[in-house]
Structure 1
Amino acid sequence: MAIDCLVLGAGQEVGKSCVVVSINGKRIMFDCGMHMGYTDSRRYPNFSLISKTGDFDNALTCVIVTHFHLDHIGALPYFTEVCGYKGPIYMTYPTKALAPLMLEDYRKNMDRRVEDEQFTADHIAECMKKVIPVDLKQTVQVDKGLQIRAYYAGHVIGAAMFYAKVGDAAMVYTGDYNMTPDRHLGAAQIDRLQLDLLITESTYATTIRDSRYGREREFLKAVHNCVAAGGKVLIPTFALGRAQELCILLEDYWERMNLNVPIYFSAGLTIQANMYYKNAY
């Protein structure tokens, strides 16, 4: 058994998630994200470390993407359409549906100073044609030796943890996951597995956070106090996932408190995403 890891992003930082794992002769790229804190080439993983010749099809067995956030998928169109990777890409059905919305929204709002490094709308469309969607707990035989399976991760709609097995070696890569259910997603679930390697997201590993209910009470109290005083509340938040959760939370509170103050959310990406959320629940 031989396992080797090449961390191209998200090692001791938040952003640019990309880990290449060699396991019993197979080479898997888990996530292909961008770092939103940079405006130069550092926003993308250093793909030359995978193959100095640029022959990524022979250098990789497949690419697996855990969810649609840009720090996990933002570099994928660049990797496929600019760098030239044409091999299989796996993600869940909701991730495949929502990823183009995220990528196109980013592309339209990008900093024009990095236009020469950027992908186009056509790149996004062509990239998504290469994606093979999978169901949760569906066992997929990538090739003769590699078997993968997706597990529910919570976090955002479509997010998954991925199990991979080659011969007698097995591993799990989590990406982001959530063990506390919220108002529209459940807690992560995975089978009891015998693993040789676990690569896990650990952003809050050393942080003790208040309970979800405590945070919700504090948030609703602040909103109510502002509205009661005649003020307006502006909430900058992620358009996919968090916006939907806050809408559910506020709508429930408004109904319980018999409040008639209107709630608005920005159009564009959020309203497009809401169509998928309504179909999923």
Structure 2
Amino acid sequence: MNPKIIHHGALDGVTGSCHQLFIDDANSLLIDCGLFQGAEVSPDGKAASDQLDIAFAVDKVQALVATHVHIDHVGRIPWLLAAGFKGPILCSEPSARLLPVVLADAFALSISRDQQLVERYLKLVESRICPLPWKIWHTVFDGPQGRCRIRLQRAGHILGSAYVECELSRPGQSPLRVVFSGDLGAPYAPLLPAPQPPYQADVVVLESTYGDRNHENRRSRRDRLQAVVEHALANGGTVVIPAFSIGRTQELLYEFEDILYRQRLRPGKHAVQWASLPIYLDSPLAGRFTQLYRELQPFWDAEAQARLRAGRKPLSFDQLIAIDEHPQHEANVRRLARSGEPAIVIAASGMCAGGRVVNYLKAMLHDPRHDVLFVGYQARGTPGHAIQTHGPRGGYVDLDGERITIRAAIHTLSGYSAHADQDGLVRFVTRMRHPPAEVRLIHGEAAARQALAARLVEVGKGAIRVTNAG
């Protein structure tokens, strides 16, 4: 049995994840339903900003599985519901806590800020969410022509992220195991256990975001993070970190708490400055998710649990200052831009396409005292990608119609990516007890997919067929 899979997104890029797995000739399962971002387009060639409507029939879609709650995986759920989808939204237990907050924010930004409408929409979403425990099989559909059950496993990308094992059965045929990777996390990521490969698979639908490169190791990236901050300390400037509200922000807070802790134990030459350095979390949404992360401590990994037992506060240390109200935000931008007070600012959005980080960038990019630090993927067509690409060469970026020459120092730490690198992706496939006969690559730009395909063919010694999905 060759599984029929239609990819409605994340086919030629890294956003808009949406994959339809057919159980029989009519009934299907949807894996994710995310927004397109930046310059990426949908499979029918429409621009990201135009591709919101669901362009496929949903009456026989039995369930939606949300691998995790990043907007490029769940952001089109409002349009899926509007298209008539009636099934459950299956996800992990932590994702079930996080998802309503993500969707309420997306609804307010994209559709309406009317509080009554938001609340009605949230009640509808919450009535559909069906949390599943890890590692337990759940039957999605059982009909005369086909049966499907799924099992969620930890993916290590953000809290609650999962890869999905799907077992398809049809009369007179052997069961077929299809694995959707979702977004796989890097090993040794703060707060999260590393993903463990499944025991077996026949087909793996595998992300390839960083399929052409490997990340720094954890100690190296922490040392570089500290070095970037100390560069700004010496200059009397601010380190601006555009960060995604879910996952990356919490990992950075965890790492900064560790640097502060180590500076107290073994003071370095900047220890006095570290001891008084304010770390601003200027994103109400990131603040809400950080609070939810604290409440979901039972799902943290062993290292984080040990720090809690030792009396440390990885996500609520004393030098962390949350900025909620917009007037506070505006005042902080003005003060840091003028004063030369050393500080760290973590603000959304992660690709600088909107949100409070844009105000910091407009005020600081022209000033060489400041530093901008990228710790996540910057999709083509986003301001973040332009700053990352042109900033080191003294170029410019357009923000809110204003052209700004980039004189601030621009840094990129790939080690803080929440995605597995090439080695991690290869290990996910090759360390299965019974490796797949086929790997279909999604969620990556062309060069990344090609490099990963070549590596998988090489290490699989020709036993694994690797294709671009589609």
TM-score, normalised by the number of residues in structure 1: 0.86
2:32 maps to amino acid: D
- Give the SS at the match of 1:105: helix
Partner deviation per Cα, 1:84-120 (whole Å, 9 max, x = no partner): 111122111211211222222233344xxx87xxxx5
Deviation of residue 274 (structure 1)?
A: 1.7
1:244 counterpart residue number: 250
CA distance in 2, matches of 1:64, 1:77: 15
From 187, 196, 202, the counterpart of 1:196: 202
Identity %: 28
**Equivalent of residue 264 in structure 1, options 276, 280, 285:** 280
Q: Distance in 2 between matches of 1:77 and 1:159?
A: 20
> How many angstroms apart in 2 are the aligned matches of 1:93 and 1:228?
44
The answer to whether 1:40 aligns with 2:49 is yes
Which residue matches 1:222?
228
Please give the secondary structure, in 2, of the residue aligned with 1:273: helix
CA shift for structure 1 position 128: 2.9
1:39 Cα deviation from its structure 2 partner: 5.9
1:213 to 1:173, Cα distance in 2 relative to 1, 3 A: same
1:64 aligns with 2:70: no
Q: After superposition, what is the alpha-carbon deviation per residue over 1:151-183, rounded to whole angstroms, capped at 9, x for unaligned?
A: 000010000001111221221111101141212
Q: C-alpha offsets along residues 207-247 of structure 1, whole Å, 9 cap, x if unaligned?
A: 23332332221121010221244322222211111111111
Q: 2:214 & 2:150 partners in 1: Cα distance? A: 33
Q: Deviations over 1:248-271 (max 9, x none)?
A: 111111222233222221252122
The amino acid of 1:199's aligned partner reads V
**What is the aligned partner in structure 1 of residue 28 from structure 2?**
27
Indicate yes or no: 2:159 matched with 1:143: no
Which residue does the alignment assign to 2:164? 162
Change (3 A) 1:15 1:24: same
The change in CA–CA distance for 1:16 and 1:171 in structure 2 (over 3 A counts) is same
Deviates more, 1:120-129 or 1:161-170: 120-129
SS in 2 for 1:264: strand
In structure 2, the CA distance between the partners of 1:256 and 1:180, relative to structure 1 (3 Å rule), is same
CA shift, 1:68, in A, is 0.2
Quickly say closer, same or farther: Cα 1:92–1:211, change in 2 above 3 A: same
Are the equivalent residues in 2 in contact too, given 1:78–1:123 (CA < 8 A)?
A: no
The equivalent of 2:189 in structure 1 is: 182
Q: Which position in structure 2 is the counterpart of 1:87?
A: 87
Report the secondary structure of 2:209's partner residue. Answer: coil
Whether the 8 Å contact between 1:18 and 1:30 is mirrored in structure 2 is yes
Which protein, 1 or 2, shows the higher relative CO under an 8 Å CA cutoff with sep ≥ 6? Answer: 2
Q: Take 1:130 and 1:11, find their aligned partners in 2: how far apart are those partners?
A: 27
Do the aligned partners of 1:77 and 1:124 also contact (CA within 8 Å) in 2? no
Question: Unaligned stretches of 5+ in structure 2?
Answer: 39-46, 170-174, 265-273, 298-470
2-structure distance, mates of 1:174, 1:125: 29
Match of 2:131 among 130, 133, 154: 133
How big is each residue's C-alpha offset from its partner over 1:32-57, in whole Å with a ceiling of 9 and x where there is no partner? 00112356332x3x633x32xxxx23
Q: Where do 5+ consecutive residues of structure 1 fail to align?
A: none
Find out whether 1:15 has 2:22 as its counterpart.
no
Q: Residue 240 of structure 1: SS of its match in structure 2?
A: coil
Structure 2 CA distance for partners of 1:95 and 1:137, relative to 1, 3 Å: same
Amino acid at match of 2:98: L
How far apart, CA to CA, are the structure 1 residues paired with 2:295 and 2:188?
A: 20
Q: How far apart, in 2, do the equivalents of 1:199 and 1:105 lie?
A: 29
Answer with 1 or 2: which has the greater Rg: 2
Q: CA 1:61–1:109 in 2, change beyond 3 Å: closer, same or farther?
A: closer
Asked if the contact 2:23–2:148 (Cα under 8 Å) also holds between the matched residues in 1, the reply is: no
Distance in structure 2 (CA, Å) of the matches to 1:189 and 1:250:
27
Structure-2 change in CA distance of 1:40 and 1:238 (3 Å): closer
Q: State the alpha-carbon separation in 1 of the partners of residues 162 and 239 from structure 2.
A: 33
CA apart distance, 1:27:
1.2
Number of equivalences: 264
SS at match of 2:84: coil
Q: 1:271 to 1:249 in 2, by over 3 A?
A: same
Indicate conservation of the 8 Å contact 1:2/1:23, yes or no.
Answer: no
Q: Secondary structure at the match of 1:276?
A: helix
- SS of 2:279's partner is coil
Instruction: Give the stretch that moved more between structures: 87-96 or 159-168.
Output: 87-96
Residue pair 1:24, 1:169 contacting (<8 A) in 2 also: no
Are 1:235 and 2:241 counterparts? Answer: yes
State the TM-score, normalized to the length of structure 2. Answer: 0.53
Q: Is the 8 A contact 1:150 1:163 kept in 2?
A: yes
Helix, strand or coil for the counterpart of 1:104?
helix
